[in-house]
């Protein structure tokens, strides 16, 4: 892994962590028990700017995750079953996050684009919002957790022991991302591994061993 590749992957990891959290804060989407007033505030015209900002941040966070996982792909021994599992779970995770962001923000964005003539029942808007959250946390977070577990198993020769075990612990927590709170260690992992990649970018790794 070259110096430039480490830097790009490191920036991607930090970007994924920071921009995802910032997107959450900007969207300020209602969660938990249904409240018609909370959904109405979320759909209000005055909230449209924040939703557009959240969309941009969410899109950039997915791009950051792509850069990170593509970089980490080389850390898993090439030509093995684990490498294929890592690539597949990473792809599903990226797709889940992208579709989740779209579903999460679909209702207020449709109202913003369509204007006041677009009327969405608060209960329908809440269902759409929750569908986006299920895809985001349940698919994106869960499969990212699987990617981390696969990374831990397949990177014995390419990652330090402490980082591998940290990835395993966070990966196990990521399997229950749908419970919401266990998702956030995944962001911490992105930040930690991003910083590690940047800090170690002065070195150039030898390629991971290939198997036939």
- pLDDT tens track for 160-204: 999 999 999 999 999 999 999 999 999 999 999 999 999 998 765
For residue 212, being part of any structural domain is answered with no
> What is the domain extent for residue 71?
3-199
Task: Give me the DSSP letters along 107-137.
Answer: HHHHHHHHGGG----HHHHHHHHHHHHIIII
Using alpha carbons only, give the angle 58, 54, 109 rounded to the nearest 5 degrees: 110
pTM (2 d.p.): 0.91
pLDDT exceeding 90 applies to what percent of the chain?
Answer: 67
For residue 67, being part of any structural domain is answered with yes
The closest alpha carbon to 133, from 175, 107, 99, 184, belongs to 99
In angstroms, rounded to a whole number, what is the distance separating the alpha carbons of residues 96 and 144? 9
In angstroms, rounded to a whole number, what is the distance separating the alpha carbons of residues 54 and 20? 9
For residue 150, being part of any structural domain is answered with yes
Task: Give me the DSSP letters along 32-50.
Answer: SS--HHHHHHHHSGGGHHH
In angstroms, rounded to a whole number, what is the distance separating the alpha carbons of residues 187 and 204? 26
pLDDT band at 70 (very low <50, low <70, confident <90, very high): very high
For residue 80, being part of any structural domain is answered with yes
In angstroms, rounded to a whole number, what is the distance separating the alpha carbons of residues 190 and 141? 12
For residue 20, being part of any structural domain is answered with yes
For residue 209, being part of any structural domain is answered with no
Model confidence pLDDT, tens digit, residues 108-120 = 888 778 766 777 8
The closest alpha carbon to 170, from 155, 154, 194, 192, belongs to 192
Model confidence pLDDT, tens digit, residues 137-160 = 999 999 999 999 999 999 998 999
Mean pLDDT is lowest, of 26-30, 66-70, 149-153, 154-158, for: 26-30
For residue 210, being part of any structural domain is answered with no
Task: Share the mean pLDDT of the chain.
Answer: 90
Count of structural domains, the chain: 1
Three-class HEC string of 146-161: HHHHHHHHHCCCCCCH
Which pLDDT score is estimated for 107?
Answer: 86
For residue 15, being part of any structural domain is answered with yes
């Amino acid at each position: 892994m070259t110096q430039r590749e480490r830097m790009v992957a490191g920036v991607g990891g930090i970007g994924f962590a920071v921009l995802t959290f910032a997107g959450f804060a900007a969207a300020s989407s209602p969660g938990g028990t249904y409240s018609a007033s909370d959904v109405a505030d979320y759909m209000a015209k005055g909230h449209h700017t924040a939703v557009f900002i959240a969309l941009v941040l969410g899109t950039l966070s997915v791009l950051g995750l792509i850069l990170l996982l593509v970089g980490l792909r080389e850390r898993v021994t090439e030509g093995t079953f684990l490498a294929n599992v890592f690539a597949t779970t990473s792809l599903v995770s990226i797709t889940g996050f992208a579709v989740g962001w779209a579903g999460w923000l679909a209702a207020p964005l449709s109202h913003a684009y369509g204007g006041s003539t677009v009327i969405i029942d608060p209960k329908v808007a809440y269902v759409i919002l929750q569908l986006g959250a299920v895809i985001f946390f349940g698919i994106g977070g869960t499969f990212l957790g699987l990617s981390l577990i696969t990374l831990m198993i397949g990177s014995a020769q390419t990652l330090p022991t402490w980082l591998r075990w940290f990835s395993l612990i966070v990966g196990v927590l990521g399997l229950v991302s749908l419970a919401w709170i266990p998702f956030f260690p995944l962001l911490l992992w992105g930040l930690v591994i991003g910083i590690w990649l940047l800090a170690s970018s002065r070195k150039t790794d030898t390629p991971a061993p290939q198997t036939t």
